[in-house]
Structure 1
């Protein structure tokens, strides 16, 4: 079973994303900050990372850049998941190395479908 790391500072959003992904057949690990996410990525080696853009400390954009610049984590697909929904936000997310960009409120079917596609490679 594939593991997804969800990086989200809102406990409500975290619960929604976790339940949705578990129903989709994934193991889910969680982190509420970029710093916590970096520690967990090293420990659990997730198959996909879902990143909120607005996080305490470093932003999801910064974290995505950091993950994609590191040889140990640059192959892990990243899905940006944010209320920031303009074309420029999406463009910027993809420019940071994100493999997909989903806006909130999330379409749960779209999220599961996107993660499954990224796990398959």
Structure 2
């Protein structure tokens, strides 16, 4: 997992979770990735923490003591100072109606337990960039590909590569997690987002477009297909 590429103050994430083991796991992984972490064990404490030190993003459990995550999200959206605060709902509830309800309440994103930490981090980074919490400026490099996030440019062997918006986001995500295999569903969540409903085969179409764009004559195909598993950015052929 790539570390946050920002010289600004580390973003503050409020983890609102009453399961101590999960809260500890989230703190460990988030701090490892360059975030500052605050915690709250119930809904009322979460609102108090937000009032004392406004975070850059809230990871909000649905089922909480004292006050539900849904009500916490409602109150966050009602307050002018926190109206635009990024909120990701984290819950064990998996029915489509629950996801819609969470998003309609004002959550920016929705992820179900158990979740993939890399996918969660990618969603957080994308949401923070959209909200201005993390600068998108920086460089990503893998093998002979260089990606300039601030200029929105890609080069391979100093050759300009022209990518569509989706291929750019797909390559950015893969370069942040080199050599790791992601399923189509994980790529959909990380690149398209959970609120955009597209077929998994859509990933295959964009992978083909990405391959066509980044792989020139006699150049190594850096996008590895793993049968029944997914795709990875990898310079080693198998």
Taking the aligned partners of 1:110 and 1:64, their CA distance within structure 2 comes to: 22
Taking the aligned partners of 2:99 and 2:31, their CA distance within structure 1 comes to: 26
Taking the aligned partners of 2:110 and 2:32, their CA distance within structure 1 comes to: 21
Q: Give the secondary structure class of the aligned counterpart of 2:73.
A: helix
Cα deviation for residue 32 of structure 1 reads 0.3
Q: Give the secondary structure class of the aligned counterpart of 1:39.
A: helix
Aligned to 1:64: 73
2:63 to 49, 54, 66: 54
**In the TM superposition, what are the counterparts of 1:3-14 in structure 2 within 5 Å?**
3-14=12-23
**In the TM superposition, what are the counterparts of 1:27-38 in structure 2 within 5 Å?**
27-38=36-47
Residue 101 in 1 paired to residue 119 in 2?
no
Taking the aligned partners of 1:24 and 1:88, their CA distance within structure 2 comes to: 32
Q: Give the secondary structure class of the aligned counterpart of 2:82.
A: coil
Taking the aligned partners of 1:6 and 1:59, their CA distance within structure 2 comes to: 14
Q: Give the secondary structure class of the aligned counterpart of 1:20.
A: helix
Bigger helix share:
1
Residues matched between the structures, number = 121
Q: Give the secondary structure class of the aligned counterpart of 1:22.
A: helix
1:26 to 31, 35, 54: 35
Taking the aligned partners of 1:93 and 1:48, their CA distance within structure 2 comes to: 16
> Deviating runs (4+, > 3 A) in structure 1?
none
User: Which deviations, in whole Å up to 9, do the C-alpha atoms of 1:67-86 show, x marking residues without a partner?
Assistant: 01110111110000001111
Q: 8 Å contact 1:20–1:112 — kept in the other structure?
A: no
Q: Give the secondary structure class of the aligned counterpart of 2:51.
A: helix
Q: Give the secondary structure class of the aligned counterpart of 1:111.
A: helix
Residue 15 in 1 paired to residue 15 in 2?
no
**In the TM superposition, what are the counterparts of 1:105-120 in structure 2 within 5 Å?**
105-120=114-129
Structure 1: segments with no counterpart, 5+ residues: none
